[in-house]
Amino acid sequence: MAKLNQIIAVEKGVKSTSHQDLTTAHHGLSKPALLAGISRTYQPKDEEGEQLPPESTRVQVKAEDVLRDTATTLTRLFDVTATKDWANCAARADITVDGRVLLREVPVSYLLFLEKQLAELGAFVRKLPVLDGAESWSLDPSTDWWRTEPVRTVRTKKVPRNHVKAEATDKHPAQVEVYYEDVPVGYWTTVKFSGALPARRVNELLARVEKLQQAVKFAREEANGTEVTDQHVGDAVFGYLFG
């Protein structure tokens, strides 16, 4: 008895073959010359007239034959697809993570959905904002934000100063150069806050997503190992359509 994964493996080839056969059949039926035949003989008016050989063209494509061949080709496709879809209704498996069953008897169609969603979730988690590693952070219970320790910095103000380059004389005024000096005038105490996540937390989340992804893949493989019962629906369908 075949298994579901074997039916899935051959389905693509059957679809491709059916498509090619249908294309060939369509091209054959779209050429009137292939469907037409003729037979004619020549008889002169009298015995002394010119004798001409008979002419004939055989019918190369018969529509009923094309219908029969098409039904044969599509019956295989219909049966394989039906076998897969019927089996998908019964194919189920548990999702187990670290020895614990997370979800029981999950249909294979939902396992495929989970695989796609978990791939998108993984991409989402990888883009989560991470706390600046250059700072030391702690969780502030009053705000539920991350915060740094207070850092005190000096606030300065530029104050002009005069530098006498040359004293005044009775002939020349004093030569004075103005410069600015940074003078402490106060202190800033700064605490930084952030709503981002510690790198450890992001890594933990990503590890969980990846672990669940593996569990879902294993479950899908198990479900796809379900034995199938061959379905024969094509004869009924084409017996009605082309009968």
Percent pLDDT > 70 in the chain is: 100
Tens of pLDDT, residues 37-68: 889 998 888 888 888 899 898 888 888 888 99
pLDDT of residue 167: 78
pLDDT of residue 170: 76
pLDDT at 32 over 90: no
Calculate the CA 17 to chain-centre distance.
26
Section 104-129 average pLDDT: 95
pLDDT at 81 over 90: yes
Section 97-125 average pLDDT: 95
Is the separation of the CB atoms in 230 and 4 below 8 Å? no
CA–CA gap between residue 26 and residue 34 (Å, rounded): 12
